[in-house]
Amino acid sequence: MSILLLEASNIEKQFADVQILNIKNFKIYAGDRIGFVGPNGSGKTTLLNILSGDIAPDSGTIRRYCEVAYIRQFGMSDMQASDTSIAQKLGQYGVISKIENPQISGGEATRIKLAHAFGSPKQLIFADEPTSSLDIYGIKQFSDELWALESFILISHDRALLNRHCNRIITIENCDIASYEGDFDSYKQQVDAKRQRAMFEYEQYKDEKSRLQRVHADKKAKAQKAGRKPKGMTSAEIGNINMSALKRSYQGKERRLEQAAKNVQARIDHMEVKERPRETPLIKLDFGLTNPPRNKILLSGKDINFAYDRQTLFENAAFQVENGAKISLQGPNGSGKTTLLNLIYHGSESIYTVPKLRIGYFRQGFEEIDLNKSVLQNAMEDSVQKESTIRAILARLLFKAADIKKPAGVLSGGERVKLGLAKLLLSGCNMLLMDEPTNYLDMPSLEVLQAILSEYEGTMMFVSHDRAFVNAICTELLLISERKLTMEINFKICVNQ
């Protein structure tokens, strides 16, 4: 019999009078390798914070029967190498020299968090987007660490990780836990089958309701007709008929038809209502509103040299960007990916851009979002698109009608990512720079973003370590290696590590 590691009962949590969690019962056993997926804002991080003891539920009970390590999405671990095993892990992750350096990349910060978690092993580990900002080497190292664990909960949008490591997938549905046996692909098949059943049941419901409404209308019309003078009878013919008997006969028929119509209406009223499964709205941006340049080469760099203190990132580096290219910027953590994006955006004497090129920049820190303004106000602020297009883009990025009225300050990390990307897509920019746009996105949002960027008519350069996303979107790789920049056209990043 499996050993029980943690159980939670009757967990409730509300934010601003909106119920986020209402979990009846949730148990984790030794050997449970759980992938935790679901829409941004559904309560994934909140649940891990409650299960770990970081925050208290409004009501309910949590019992932990083992120590838990928690790799948090936000916030840093203790930057000190507090014992030998942690120092050893910091060395394995290549960040032992970085713990007292304020100039560390997002990937290096993630490596420090991982080293602290794996340097002091626990029986159960919670990991909230642990591969955010990691390069492909860091993801491989984390994957190897995860392979050695017996029990964990992993919040991740990395489909390859979920497929390789998980034997159970959980989501939050209607504020409660829904559990699916198997890896992510198995979960996806089960969800797709459930959606197909829901669509079939909706079509059946719609057809049956329409049929009953026609029957009801027919019986109502016949009931009204039953009370009228018989058509085609003369007054003399009517005079020869016992009018009292005739009247009783027609009144009886009218009552029977009225009752039959009421019975049909009752059947309609008592039908189990089936909602149409939600579909992603289709929308196309009017790219012409950005006044795009027609030059073949939009941007080029030559003799780029850059260093932080005594660390040289670029030495006589060069590159160029063609019109319409979708470039994935790749390189080890700390190699200068974000630095290069900053140099392109802020300008450098070594980088030339054509006159009509207007560059928009999505940063990891959400600096472009006004937290005091609503989602819709933020999206409209710098938009060149029509309001109907703005609302459609927000809907396509899975913001509900009620969500667009929320202040941006209450949004989850994934929702802020989507809002930042919406602002960028709707703006007058005709080249996009994006630093980790896939971080913190749930699976549906990731698939939607993948579709939108595949359709985007402009030029883009982005940093992402989601291997499947890179393969689906980009036309070429710009590689940072040994302080140089190299463009690679024919590529395929392995997604099975």
State mean pLDDT over 425-448.
Answer: 87
Q: Tell me which long-range contacts 347-351 makes (C-beta under 8 A, separation of at least 24).
A: 348/301, 348/304, 350/301, 350/302, 350/303, 350/304, 350/305, 351/299, 351/300, 351/301, 351/304
Q: Which of 274-278, 412-416, 456-460 has the lowest mean pLDDT?
A: 274-278
pLDDT above 70: residue 302: yes
**Residues paired with 153 in a beta bridge:** 34, 126
| Predicted local distance difference test score (pLDDT) of residue 249 | 59
| Predicted local distance difference test score (pLDDT) of residue 497 | 45
Residue 357: pLDDT band with limits 50, 70, 90: very high
The predicted-structure confidence for 157-215, as pLDDT tens digits, reads as follows: 888 889 989 999 999 988 899 999 999 999 989 888 887 887 787 777 777 778 777 87
Tokens 């392995």 sit on residue: 494
Highest mean pLDDT among 243-257, 317-331, 393-407: 317-331
pLDDT above 50: residue 255: yes
The predicted-structure confidence for 101-118, as pLDDT tens digits, reads as follows: 666 777 788 888 888 888
Residue 333: pLDDT band with limits 50, 70, 90: confident
Higher pLDDT, 100 or 57: 57
Tokens 């009292």 sit on residue: 244
State mean pLDDT over 250-257.
Answer: 67
| Predicted local distance difference test score (pLDDT) of residue 239 | 56
Tell me how far apart the terminal alpha carbons of the chain are, to the nearest angstrom.
32
Q: Rounded mean pLDDT of the chain?
A: 83
pLDDT above 70: residue 330: yes
In degrees and rounded to multiples of 5, residue 303 shows phi and psi of 55, 50
Highest mean pLDDT among 16-25, 212-221, 262-271: 16-25
pLDDT above 90: residue 430: yes
- pTM exceeding the 0.75 threshold for the entire prediction: no
| Predicted local distance difference test score (pLDDT) of residue 26 | 94
Alpha helices by DSSP H, 270-359? 337-346
Sheet holding 18-29, edge to edge: 18-29, 4-15, 59-64
pLDDT above 90: residue 8: yes
| Predicted local distance difference test score (pLDDT) of residue 298 | 95
Alpha helices by DSSP H, 123-183? 136-147, 159-165
CA distance 110 to 132: 7
| Predicted local distance difference test score (pLDDT) of residue 277 | 62
Residue 238: pLDDT band with limits 50, 70, 90: low
The predicted-structure confidence for 461-474, as pLDDT tens digits, reads as follows: 999 878 778 888 88
